């Protein structure tokens, strides 16, 4: 089964972001990690990244229309994009929010997620393993 994995703004530049927060993996390495974790859980991951809100909304519409499960790291959009929240709400297959860091342990503006309320659940703080844990959870949700 296919899973759409959406990564939001600035995640493509993990190589130059604060490694004490986001770890040492580059974005291509993160994508490879996600693909391999998906395969171990019986999924084929379609992994995408965009810095653009409209593009992410379009991908969520695609998932809604094709009833595809979604794992999404909305990055900074997590904290204020009602448009992404409304698009995520259209997805009737499971949708899991993930974060590399633990936003609740960081600056106050990161304590709010406008996405969590329309996700099946949120996993954050485990680095790339947040995605592996989400894939395991997705497998259980689907079976
Ligand atoms: C993030 C956390 C967000 O607060 C931040 O804006 C990001 C990445 C994470 O994966 O830890 O860009 O979503």
Q: What residues have CB less than 8 Å from 118, skipping those under 6 apart?
A: 85, 88, 89, 95
Give the containing element (helix H, strand E) for 123.
Answer: strand 121-124
Q: What is the pTM of this model?
A: 0.98
Q: Which atom of ligand 1 is nearest to the CA of 21?
A: 11
User: pLDDT tens for residues 7-57?
Assistant: 999 999 999 999 999 999 999 999 999 999 999 999 999 999 999 999 999
Distance 71 CA to ligand 1 centre (A): 14
Q: What is the pLDDT of residue 71?
A: 99
Q: Which atom of ligand 1 is nearest to the CA of 22?
A: 11
Q: Which atom of ligand 1 is nearest to the CA of 9?
A: 12
Listed residue (89, 55, 46) closest to 75, CA to CA? 55
Mean pLDDT of 110-120: 98
Catalytic site residues?
A: 22, 99
Q: Within a 13 Å sphere around the CA of 137, how many CA atoms are in the beta-carbon half?
A: 19
Q: What is the pLDDT of residue 90?
A: 98
Distance 50 CA to ligand 1 centre (A): 13
Taking the C-alpha atoms of residue 27 and residue 90, their distance in angstroms, rounded to an integer, is 28
Q: What is the pLDDT of residue 7?
A: 98
Taking the C-alpha atoms of residue 127 and residue 73, their distance in angstroms, rounded to an integer, is 12
C-alpha gyration radius of the chain: 14
Query: How many residues are listed for the chain in this entry?
Result: 143
User: pLDDT tens for residues 63-96?
Assistant: 999 999 999 999 999 999 999 999 999 999 999 9
Listed residue (130, 100, 123) closest to 23, CA to CA? 100
| Residue 128 structure tokens | 């790339």
Mean pLDDT of 103-123: 98
Q: What is the pLDDT of residue 31?
A: 98
Backbone angles phi and psi of 123, in degrees to 5: -125, 125
7 lines ligand 1 (CB under 6 A): no
CATH no. for 2-142:
3.40.50.9100
Q: What is the pLDDT of residue 40?
A: 97
49 lines ligand 1 (CB under 6 A): no
Listed residue (9, 100, 97, 96) closest to 49, CA to CA? 9
For a mutational test of ligand 1's pocket, the pick from 13, 101, 106, 134, i.e. the residue with the most ligand atoms closer than 8 A to its C-beta, is: 101
Mean pLDDT of 118-131: 98
């Amino acid at each position: 089964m296919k899973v759409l994995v959406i990564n939001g703004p600035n995640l493509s530049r993990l190589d130059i972001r604060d490694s004490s927060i986001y770890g040492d993996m580059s974005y291509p390495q993160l994508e490879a990690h996600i693909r391999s974790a998906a395969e171990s859980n019986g999924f084929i991951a379609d992994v995408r990244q965009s810095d653009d809100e409209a593009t992410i909304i379009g991908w969520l519409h695609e998932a809604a229309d094709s009833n595809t499960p979604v794992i999404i790291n909305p990055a900074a959009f997590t904290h204020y994009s009602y448009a992404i929240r409304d698009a995520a709400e259209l997805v009737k297959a499971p949708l899991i929010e993930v974060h590399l860091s633990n936003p609740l342990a960081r600056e106050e503006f990161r304590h709010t997620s406008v996405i969590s309320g329309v996700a099946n659940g949120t996993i954050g703080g485990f680095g790339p393993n947040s995605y592996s844990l989400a894939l395991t959870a997705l497998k259980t949700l689907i079976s």
